[in-house]
Amino acid sequence: MKACLLPTGLHISGLKSALAGPFDLDAPGGEIICISGASGSGKSLFLRMIADLDPNEGSVVLNGRDRAAMPAHHWRASIPYVAAESGWWAATAADHVPPSGLAAAKALAQRLGVAATLFDSPVERLSTGERQRLALVRALVLDSPAVLLDEPTGPLDPASAQQVETVLAQRAAAGAVILMASHDPAQGERMKARRLIMSNRRLVDHA
């Protein structure tokens, strides 16, 4: 008897908290979803709920694996969340990447316009844009099946933003789900993303 294939992609059902939802969303592997909406509408909260960083209830399944059946740190490695202003708990960016992944991280950083040498510089000396791109590298080097991004290009100039969009599109083409919040109304169009709007802490289709 052939084994049943597990469904791929991100499947969210009844995700809610006292502050937002419920949310239902199906994103097949390889899809980019861009969520827009006013500040305070709930975009960041939604992403943090998926990552299980804020209190919530409901079903979240990624590539057939139920979040509820996984240790929290394994889940968050499977679907890393990159905040608009990511936290850094060690002195250098290199300290945040496993040694086995450092070479790949430096190569990816260069594709995003960040010199590999900055991995060994104190994080506090990096610009906002450099920190943002290195936080993205820190997540993407995990080679996870999905990634949650909160304003990934917010502090970047147009050329740097285009580099990020190119890398994300390539990651989606390889099968990953890219779920991102963005204030740039044109970003979803450029990335050929499915566009949703967060309104009153609920998701609605883009008009």
Q: Which domain holds residue 7?
A: 1-80+175-207
Q: How confident is the model at residue 200 (pLDDT cuts 50, 70, 90)?
A: confident
- What is the tens place of the pLDDT at every residue in 39-64? 888 999 999 999 999 999 999 999 99
Cis, peptide link before residue 55, omega less than 30° from 0: no
Number of compact structural domains in the chain: 1
Structural domain contains residue 85: no
Mean pLDDT of the chain: 91
Structural domain contains residue 137: no
Helix, strand, or coil here: 47? helix
Longest dimension (CA), the chain: 58
Single-letter amino acid, residue 185: P
For residue 57, give the H/E element and its range. strand 57-62
Q: Where are the beta strands (DSSP E) in 17-140?
A: 23-27, 32-36, 57-62, 65-66, 81-82
Structural domain contains residue 154: no
Q: How confident is the model at residue 1 (pLDDT cuts 50, 70, 90)?
A: very low
Q: How confident is the model at residue 205 (pLDDT cuts 50, 70, 90)?
A: confident
What pLDDT does 7 receive? 64
- What is the tens place of the pLDDT at every residue in 89-133? 999 999 999 899 899 999 999 999 999 999 999 999 999 999 999
Structural domain contains residue 55: yes
* CATH number, residue 43: 3.40.50.300
Structural domain contains residue 91: no
What pLDDT does 5 receive? 41
What pLDDT does 3 receive? 37
The length of the chain, given as a count of residues: 207
What pLDDT does 46 receive? 97
Identify whether the C-beta of residue 103 lies closer than 8 Å to the C-beta of residue 119: no
Helix, strand, or coil here: 32? strand
**32 Rama class: left (phi>0) / alpha (psi -120 to 50) / beta:** beta
What pLDDT does 39 receive? 87
SS3 of the chain: helix, strand, coil, percent, to 5: 35, 25, 40
What pLDDT does 48 receive? 96
Helix, strand, or coil here: 148? strand
What pLDDT does 2 receive? 36
Q: Which residues contact 125 (CB under 8 A, 6 or more apart)?
A: none
Give the C-alpha distances (Å, rounded to integers) separating 160 from 77, 116, 129.
Answer: 26, 16, 9
What pLDDT does 27 receive? 96
Across the strands, what pairs with 26?
11
Walk across the sheet containing 202-205 and list its strands. Answer: 81-82, 146-150, 177-181, 32-36, 194-199, 202-205
Structural domain contains residue 88: no
Helix, strand, or coil here: 13? strand
Structural domain contains residue 54: yes
- What is the tens place of the pLDDT at every residue in 146-198? 999 999 998 899 999 999 999 999 999 999 999 999 988 789 999 999 999 99
Calculate what percentage of the chain has a pLDDT beyond 70: 96
Structural domain contains residue 111: no
What pLDDT does 207 receive? 60
**pTM (predicted TM-score):** 0.92
**For residues 117 and 94, what is the distance between their CA atoms, to the nearest angstrom?**
10
